[in-house]
Amino acid sequence: MRHARRRIVRRVTRLAAVGGLLLGGAMVTQAAMASESSGTAALPFSSTQGAPGTGASLVSELGTARTAGTWLNAQGRTVVAVTDAGAAARVKAAGAQPKMVSHSMNELKAATSTLRAAPRVPGTAWVMDYTTNQVVVQADTTVSASDWAGMSKVASGIGSYVRMERTKGTFTTRLNGAQPILSTGGRCSAGFNVTNGTTDFILTAGHCGPTGSTWFADNQGNQQLGQTVQSNFPGNDFSLVQYASGSAGQGADIVAIGNGNGVRITGVGDPAVGERVFRSGSTSGLHDGQVKGLDATVNYPEGTVTGLIETNVCAEPGDSGGPMFSEGIALGVTSGGSGDCTTGGTTFFQPVTKAMQALGVQLIVSSQAAAQQGASPSSAPSASATHSAIAPGSTSPGSTAPSTGVAGETLLARLTNPRNIGPGMLVIGGSLIALVATRWFRAEKDRNEYRRYYSATWG
Determine the Cα–Cα distance for residues 355 and 251; give it in Å rounded to an integer: 22
Catalytic one among 103, 207, 287, 387? 207
DSSP 110-127: HHHHHHHHSPP-TTEEEE
Determine the Cα–Cα distance for residues 419 and 429; give it in Å rounded to an integer: 16
Determine the Cα–Cα distance for residues 61 and 98; give it in Å rounded to an integer: 14
320 annotated active-site = yes
Determine the Cα–Cα distance for residues 96 and 385; give it in Å rounded to an integer: 14
CB burial of residue 340 (10 Å; 0-12, 13-18, 19+): middle
For the chain, the maximum distance between any two Cα atoms, rounded to a whole number of angstroms, is 127
Determine the Cα–Cα distance for residues 375 and 373; give it in Å rounded to an integer: 5
Contact 352, 201 (CB under 8 A): no
Alpha-carbon distance values, 45 to 58, 331, 356 (Å): 21, 11, 7
- β-strand pairing of 78-82 with 97-100: parallel
At 315, is the secondary structure helix, strand, or coil? coil
Catalytic one among 129, 140, 200, 237? 237
Determine the Cα–Cα distance for residues 348 and 279; give it in Å rounded to an integer: 11
Closest to 337 measured CA to CA, from 178, 179, 181, 169: 169
Total length of the chain: 459
Closest to 270 measured CA to CA, from 417, 410, 70: 70
Catalytic one among 104, 213, 239, 320? 320
237 annotated active-site = yes
**Which residues carry out catalysis?**
207, 237, 320
